[in-house]
Amino acid sequence: MSRMKQEPTNVNRKEERERQRKGIPGLIDSTVSSTIDDLKAIIDAKLELFKIELTEKVALVSAFVLLLVVLMIGVAYLITTIALLFGELFGHVWLGYLLVSMVFILTFAFFTKVKPNALKNFIHKILLSAND
Protein backbone atom coordinates (compact mmCIF):
# COMPACT_ATOMS: atom_id res chain seq x y z
CA MET A 1 0.00 0.00 0.00
CA SER A 2 2.76 2.41 0.87
CA ARG A 3 4.37 1.73 -2.51
CA MET A 4 1.22 2.66 -4.34
CA LYS A 5 1.08 5.97 -2.50
CA GLN A 6 4.72 6.76 -3.31
CA GLU A 7 4.44 6.04 -7.05
CA PRO A 8 1.75 8.65 -7.74
CA THR A 9 3.73 11.16 -5.72
CA ASN A 10 6.83 10.49 -7.87
CA VAL A 11 4.77 10.81 -11.04
CA ASN A 12 3.36 14.13 -9.82
CA ARG A 13 6.87 15.41 -9.11
CA LYS A 14 8.05 14.44 -12.59
CA GLU A 15 5.09 16.18 -14.20
CA GLU A 16 5.75 19.28 -12.12
CA ARG A 17 9.44 19.33 -13.17
CA GLU A 18 8.52 18.96 -16.82
CA ARG A 19 6.05 21.85 -16.56
CA GLN A 20 8.79 24.00 -15.07
CA ARG A 21 11.23 23.03 -17.80
CA LYS A 22 8.94 24.08 -20.62
CA GLY A 23 9.83 27.23 -22.44
CA ILE A 24 13.20 28.92 -22.82
CA PRO A 25 14.64 27.87 -19.42
CA GLY A 26 13.79 24.25 -20.18
CA LEU A 27 15.36 24.52 -23.61
CA ILE A 28 18.52 26.07 -22.14
CA ASP A 29 18.67 23.39 -19.45
CA SER A 30 18.32 20.54 -21.93
CA THR A 31 20.86 22.13 -24.29
CA VAL A 32 23.43 22.59 -21.53
CA SER A 33 22.95 19.07 -20.20
CA SER A 34 23.20 17.53 -23.67
CA THR A 35 26.32 19.60 -24.40
CA ILE A 36 27.93 18.40 -21.18
CA ASP A 37 27.05 14.80 -22.06
CA ASP A 38 28.52 15.27 -25.55
CA LEU A 39 31.72 16.75 -24.10
CA LYS A 40 32.05 13.83 -21.70
CA ALA A 41 31.64 11.40 -24.61
CA ILE A 42 34.23 13.27 -26.68
CA ILE A 43 36.72 13.31 -23.79
CA ASP A 44 36.18 9.58 -23.18
CA ALA A 45 36.71 8.85 -26.88
CA LYS A 46 39.88 10.98 -26.95
CA LEU A 47 41.23 9.15 -23.89
CA GLU A 48 40.56 5.77 -25.49
CA LEU A 49 42.25 6.90 -28.70
CA PHE A 50 45.25 8.14 -26.69
CA LYS A 51 45.48 4.78 -24.91
CA ILE A 52 45.39 2.91 -28.22
CA GLU A 53 48.05 5.15 -29.77
CA LEU A 54 50.23 4.89 -26.67
CA THR A 55 50.07 1.09 -26.59
CA GLU A 56 50.90 1.02 -30.30
CA LYS A 57 53.99 3.17 -29.73
CA VAL A 58 55.05 1.07 -26.73
CA ALA A 59 54.68 -2.08 -28.83
CA LEU A 60 56.74 -0.52 -31.64
CA VAL A 61 59.53 0.53 -29.25
CA SER A 62 59.50 -2.89 -27.56
CA ALA A 63 59.79 -4.66 -30.91
CA PHE A 64 62.61 -2.32 -31.93
CA VAL A 65 64.53 -2.93 -28.69
CA LEU A 66 64.07 -6.69 -29.01
CA LEU A 67 65.32 -6.67 -32.61
CA LEU A 68 68.23 -4.47 -31.57
CA VAL A 69 69.24 -6.95 -28.86
CA VAL A 70 69.04 -9.83 -31.35
CA LEU A 71 71.13 -7.83 -33.83
CA MET A 72 73.74 -7.01 -31.18
CA ILE A 73 74.05 -10.67 -30.20
CA GLY A 74 74.44 -11.63 -33.87
CA VAL A 75 77.07 -8.94 -34.41
CA ALA A 76 78.96 -10.08 -31.31
CA TYR A 77 79.11 -13.64 -32.67
CA LEU A 78 80.14 -12.35 -36.09
CA ILE A 79 82.95 -10.26 -34.59
CA THR A 80 84.13 -13.24 -32.55
CA THR A 81 84.10 -15.40 -35.67
CA ILE A 82 86.07 -12.83 -37.65
CA ALA A 83 88.59 -12.53 -34.80
CA LEU A 84 89.02 -16.32 -34.71
CA LEU A 85 89.44 -16.40 -38.50
CA PHE A 86 92.15 -13.75 -38.43
CA GLY A 87 93.77 -15.54 -35.51
CA GLU A 88 93.92 -18.75 -37.56
CA LEU A 89 95.33 -16.86 -40.55
CA PHE A 90 98.07 -15.19 -38.47
CA GLY A 91 98.85 -18.28 -36.42
CA HIS A 92 97.83 -16.79 -33.05
CA VAL A 93 94.26 -16.35 -31.82
CA TRP A 94 95.16 -13.25 -29.85
CA LEU A 95 96.29 -11.49 -33.07
CA GLY A 96 92.81 -11.90 -34.52
CA TYR A 97 91.19 -10.36 -31.45
CA LEU A 98 93.77 -7.58 -31.47
CA LEU A 99 93.06 -6.79 -35.13
CA VAL A 100 89.29 -6.68 -34.62
CA SER A 101 89.69 -4.56 -31.48
CA MET A 102 91.92 -2.13 -33.35
CA VAL A 103 89.25 -1.67 -36.02
CA PHE A 104 86.74 -0.65 -33.35
CA ILE A 105 89.22 1.62 -31.57
CA LEU A 106 90.21 3.34 -34.82
CA THR A 107 86.54 3.81 -35.73
CA PHE A 108 85.91 5.38 -32.32
CA ALA A 109 88.92 7.67 -32.72
CA PHE A 110 87.84 8.68 -36.23
CA PHE A 111 84.34 9.70 -35.13
CA THR A 112 85.50 11.50 -31.98
CA LYS A 113 88.67 13.27 -33.12
CA VAL A 114 88.78 13.49 -36.93
CA LYS A 115 85.11 13.90 -37.92
CA PRO A 116 83.06 14.44 -34.76
CA ASN A 117 79.99 15.77 -36.63
CA ALA A 118 79.96 13.11 -39.34
CA LEU A 119 78.17 10.47 -37.28
CA LYS A 120 75.72 13.00 -35.82
CA ASN A 121 74.86 14.29 -39.30
CA PHE A 122 74.46 10.75 -40.63
CA ILE A 123 72.08 9.77 -37.83
CA HIS A 124 70.20 13.06 -38.23
CA LYS A 125 69.63 12.35 -41.94
CA ILE A 126 68.40 8.83 -41.17
CA LEU A 127 65.94 10.10 -38.55
CA LEU A 128 64.65 12.83 -40.85
CA SER A 129 64.13 10.38 -43.71
CA ALA A 130 62.34 7.95 -41.37
CA ASN A 131 59.87 10.65 -40.25
CA ASP A 132 59.02 11.85 -43.78
Chain segment 40-77, per-residue pLDDT in tens: 999 999 999 999 999 998 998 899 999 999 999 999 99
Per-residue model confidence (pLDDT) at position 47: 95
Element holding 35 (H helix, E strand): helix 24-90
Per-residue model confidence (pLDDT) at position 15: 59
Which has more confidence, 91 or 25? 91
Contact 83/96 with Cβ under 8 angstroms? yes
Per-residue model confidence (pLDDT) at position 8: 52
pLDDT at residue 29 is higher than 70: yes
pLDDT at residue 129 is higher than 90: no
pLDDT at residue 26 is higher than 50: yes
pTM score over 0.85: no
User: Which residues are CB-neighbours of 97 under 8 A, at least 6 positions away?
Assistant: 83, 87
Q: Give per-residue pLDDT as tens, 90-104.
A: 999 999 999 999 999
Per-residue model confidence (pLDDT) at position 17: 61
Identify which of 26, 27, 46 has the alpha carbon closest to the alpha carbon of residue 38.
46
Per-residue model confidence (pLDDT) at position 73: 95
User: Which residues are CB-neighbours of 85 under 8 A, at least 6 positions away?
Assistant: 96
% of the chain residues with pLDDT over 90: 49
Computed from CA positions of residues 82, 87, 93, 95, in that sequence, does the dihedral angle turn out positive or negative? negative
For the chain, the straight-line distance linking the first and the last C-alpha, in angstroms and rounded, comes to 74
Contact 101/95 with Cβ under 8 angstroms? no
User: Which residues are CB-neighbours of 26 under 8 A, at least 6 positions away?
Assistant: 20
pLDDT at residue 3 is higher than 80: no
Count of CB atoms within 10 A of residue 83's CB?
Answer: 20
